[in-house]
């Protein structure tokens, strides 16, 4: 009977890893898959805006900065009636005095401008 038990254990692979002191691998401890994990690609940065400001109805004071009110100065001057200013950037902060005197387009599309002295962030 002992021979039958030993034969059954040997057939099941029980003794196969006993010399090494390890158990046969289980599905829970299987080696990691060789599949590559696909990570989402980051979005490419938005293309720069083309902002055109035309003093169509009178003079207008303009202060333009890159990104915010503390960004680097892009323009700071009086835009006289009939003059045009073109700015480029991903995000542009504008301060306009007499804003009703200008027409603004962003990438060729008209942009509404509030009256009076105002601040806008485009982009």
Per-residue pLDDT of 54-107, as tens digits, reads 999 999 999 999 999 999 999 999 999 999 999 999 999 999 999 999 999 999
Is pLDDT of 20 > 60?
A: no
Helix (H, G, I), strand (E, B) or coil at 100: helix
- Phi, then psi, of 9 in degrees rounded to 5: -65, -40
Is pLDDT of 2 > 50?
A: no
**pLDDT value of position 75:** 97
**pLDDT value of position 16:** 55
State the average pLDDT over residues 31-60.
86
Neighbours of 21 (CB within 10 A): 6
Q: What average pLDDT is seen over the chain?
A: 83
pTM above 0.85, yes or no: no
**pLDDT value of position 32:** 59
Most confident of 33-42, 82-91, 109-118: 82-91
DSSP codes joined into one string, 10-72? HHTTTTTTTTTT-PPP-GGGPPPP-PPPPPPPPPPPPPPEEEEEEE-SS-EEEEEEESSTTS-
């Amino acid at each position: 009977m002992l021979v039958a038990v030993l034969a059954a254990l040997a057939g099941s692979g029980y003794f196969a890893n006993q010399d090494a002191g390890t158990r046969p691998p289980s599905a829970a401890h299987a080696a990691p898959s060789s599949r590559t994990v696909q990570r989402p690609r980051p979005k490419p940065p938005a293309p720069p805006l083309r902002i055109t400001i035309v003093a169509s109805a009178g003079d207008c004071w303009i202060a333009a900065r890159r990104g915010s009110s503390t960004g680097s100065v892009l323009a700071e001057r009086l835009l006289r009636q009939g003059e045009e200013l073109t700015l480029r950037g991903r995000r542009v902060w504008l301060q306009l005095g007499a804003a009703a005197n200008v027409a603004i387009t962003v990438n060729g599309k008209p942009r509404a401008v509030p009256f009076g002295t105002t601040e806008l962030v485009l982009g």
